[in-house]
Copies of this chain bind each other. A is one copy, B any other.
């Protein structure tokens, strides 16, 4: 077989994977089931266990070598009653409720609530400079917007999310009574975006909530007029950790079964929405990848796994358990690929690895670039995923699907991240792109 005919065979296989997924893909139907039957599936919740069982049952019917659950321990955070964030003293607008959601992992005010003066800051640095004398007893309002001029919205998110992740704990350290964070989105609307915040063990906790961008604009306008007092009432709290599971489907390799190629998404979502783009899409796409390879009659040399990770949103319990178990069995993941950036049209796949091996791997991957060009998929430097991050030490290649990012932060961590927000063809194209890469890595390996 000549080099040319090998390439033709690969081009044909990839065309077949795209065509079959676009015409007979099942991931869109699976996503409908997952979002309907296991909506709001935060780790530890009943819905998350429904999601575990549902994805296991889906994979049980697809002819994989093996489908199994992998135990992991997860935090169990609950939102409690509907949050109240109310401006109580504005002479201009009277009492006014802001649209708010408690931040994940945070402990609420309790049923009696609290009232305090609001102070607006744009950065953690400012906070540091202000110190306890200015912040003690105040509600700190983090209001630096995501930068709309970034064409890649994840860059804008990365430039603002420190306010949500570390802001409340830092405010608490300076004696603040509570924290409000502008929602992480470039949209101007009334939909609050939740997400995890991090208080270290033993740190003082204060109520911490996201408010919608329109609420943030309103609050900021009121602050320009004078002193603003806000009443906060939320009853979120952390319960005892729970046993949960990663769900894994596997096709055993025929030649190098100990070499693993994993493709995954995270099965948990925030509690307020259906978790369609984040990350039901990544889960069902991962199943689709294995399903399409099986359906094409492809017999992999290496073991290929679809992994639904549990607890990406507020702890990474699943990702850590997966890596621990894999390391204990001395597996080697030559490729771990995650889809956790939404079910939008794929524009590329990004790669990372330990420094010593990266160049060799990426060069190999890039030698296949022409095969994905007809589908407008580019291979680029930089990429992976939170759940697969712990696998880096196995010295394989990590990768992340890079879908078009314009709409992602309209839905991210909100009640509007629902099934209808996902386009069938866009979802399918992402699955087909990943199936194509996995086919190539399995067939040719990453050496030389």
Contact = CB atoms under 8 A, between A and B. Distances in A.
A22 B423 contact: no
Interface in A258-278: none
Interface stretch (A214-222, A231-239, A424-432): A424-432
A229 to B, nearest CB: 32
8 contacts: A18-B151, A151-B374, A151-B429, A186-B425, A345-B404, A406-B426, A407-B423, A410-B423
A361 to B, nearest CB: 24
A376 interface: yes
Contact of A347 (B149, B153, B376, B407): B376
A18 B426 CA distance: 25
A126 interface: no
Contacts of A23: 148-149
A360 interface: no
Interface of A: 18-19, 22-23, 148-149, 151, 153, 186-187, 345, 347, 374-376, 404, 406-407, 410, 423-426, 429
A108 to B, nearest CB: 33
A100 to B, nearest CB: 23
Nearest to A374: B151
A410 B28 CA distance: 15
Given A406-B429, A429-B406, A148 B22 contact: yes
A347 B348 CA distance: 13
A308 B113 CA distance: 56
Contacts of A376: 151, 347
Nearest to A20: B149
A187 B424 contact: yes
B406 A345 contact: yes
Contacts of A407: 423, 425-426
A22 B149 contact: yes
Contact of A406 (B149, B187, B423): B423
A167 to B, nearest CB: 24
A404 B407 CA distance: 13
Contacts of A153: 425
Nearest to A425: B406
Contact of A149 (B18, B186, B410, B424): B18
Of listed A23, A374, A376, A425, residue having the most chain B CB within 10 A: A425
A148 B21 CA distance: 10
A345 B405 CA distance: 9
Contacts of A410: 423
B375 A151 contact: yes
Contacts of A347: 376
A105 to B, nearest CB: 30
A407 B422 CA distance: 10
A112 B77 CA distance: 65
Contacts of A187: 424
